[in-house]
């Protein structure tokens, strides 16, 4: 497996369960029902795309891009948009707090 480099510079092991958790929460918040098979499929597809990059570590931004791409490819644009808004607001708030 590979590692993830966070915006803070910290490098951690890749954990596909974090993707599953994030997607499950985001889908729930925007009213899109997902079952465990959907979550497993999303985690698998994101992991495949990240593995294909053949790089270690991979940035959190790349994980974000691949996850949104998988969601769009699977017809889950509403979930992709909600996740994108969350990420953008999170980083905006994080920057505002640091200033």
How sure is the predictor about 91, in pLDDT bands with cuts at 50, 70 and 90? low
Q: For the chain, give every domain's residue range.
A: 3-98
* Contact partners, residue 19, CB within 8 Å, separation at least 6: 42, 43, 46, 47, 63, 67
Q: 19 near 66, Cβ under 8 Å?
A: no
pLDDT of residue 92: 55
pLDDT higher than threshold 90 for residue 95 = no
What's the predicted TM-score (pTM) here?
Answer: 0.85
Each residue of 29-87: pLDDT tens digit? 999 999 999 999 999 999 999 999 999 999 999 999 999 999 999 999 999 999 988 88
């Amino acid at each position: 497996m590979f590692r993830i480099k966070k915006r803070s510079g910290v490098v951690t092991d890749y954990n596909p369960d974090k993707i599953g958790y994030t997607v499950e929460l985001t889908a729930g918040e925007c009213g899109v029902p997902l079952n465990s098979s959907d979550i497993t499929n999303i985690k698998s597809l994101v992991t495949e795309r990240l593995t294909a990059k053949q790089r270690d570590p991979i940035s959190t931004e790349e994980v974000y891009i691949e996850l949104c791409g998988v969601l769009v490819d699977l017809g889950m644009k509403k979930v992709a948009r909600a996740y994108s808004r969350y990420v953008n607001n999170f980083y905006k708030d994080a920057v505002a707090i640091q200033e």
